[in-house]
C-alpha cells in the first residue's frame, strides 16, 4: 500500500451549497461556511471535500460529450422513502437505473445513484 484515501473531492460552482446537499442526504456534518473555496463534510468515518469551481461545466447524463466526472452510490434501506427526500433537497431523477439502483443528479448536475440490496 502506498497510501490511504483521505478525501473524495468534488468541484462545484458553490462549494458550500453542494456540501450542504450531500451532508443532508448522508447525515454528515458540514465544516465550512458560505463563500469558502473548500468545504468538507464528515461523518461515519468518511470525508468528502467540495472545492469552488465557478466555471464548472455540468455533466449531462448519459451524454458522453458531457461526461459524469464521478458519481456516488448511496445505499438506502427504502428507495421509495429516500427518493422524495433527495428530490426535496434539489436532486432530480435521471434516465436509467436497474433492479437495485436509480440515477439522480445533484443540484449541480453530478449524477449519483440510490442503491439498495447492493453487495
Using DSSP's 3-state secondary structure scheme, residue 80 falls into helix
**Vertex 114: Cα angle to 47 and 85 (nearest 5):** 90
Q: Which set of grid coordinates corresponds to residue 7? A: 478525501
Residue where a domain terminates, one of 29, 55, 81: 55
54-113 tens-digit pLDDT: 999 888 888 989 888 888 889 999 999 999 999 999 999 999 888 899 999 999 999 999
Per-residue model confidence (pLDDT) at position 68: 82
Last residue of a domain, one of 32, 55, 78: 55
Answer whether 64's CB lies under 8 Å from 3's CB.
Answer: no
Point out the domain boundary residue: 9, 38, 55. 55
Q: Is the pLDDT of residue 119 over 60?
A: no
67 and 36 in a single domain? The answer is no
Domain count, the chain: 2
Cα dist. 39→26, 28, 74 in Å?
Answer: 15, 13, 20
Residue closest to 79 by CA, chosen among 106, 97, 60: 97
Domain that holds residue 14: 1-55
Quote the pTM value.
0.83
Amino acid at each position: 500500500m502506498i497510501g490511504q484515501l483521505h478525501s473524495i473531492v468534488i468541484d462545484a460552482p458553490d462549494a458550500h451549497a453542494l456540501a450542504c446537499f450531500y451532508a443532508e442526504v448522508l447525515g454528515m456534518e458540514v465544516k465550512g461556511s458560505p463563500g469558502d473555496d473548500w468545504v468538507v463534510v464528515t461523518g461515519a468515518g468518511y470525508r468528502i471535500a467540495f472545492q469552488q469551481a465557478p466555471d464548472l461545466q455540468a455533466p449531462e447524463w448519459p451524454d458522453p460529450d458531457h461526461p459524469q466526472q464521478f458519481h456516488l452510490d448511496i445505499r438506502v434501506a427504502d428507495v421509495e422513502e429516500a427518493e422524495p427526500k433527495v428530490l426535496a433537497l434539489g436532486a432530480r431523477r435521471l434516465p436509467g437505473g436497474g433492479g437495485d439502483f436509480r440515477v439522480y443528479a445533484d443540484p449541480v448536475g453530478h449524477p449519483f445513484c440510490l442503491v439498495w440490496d447492493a453487495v
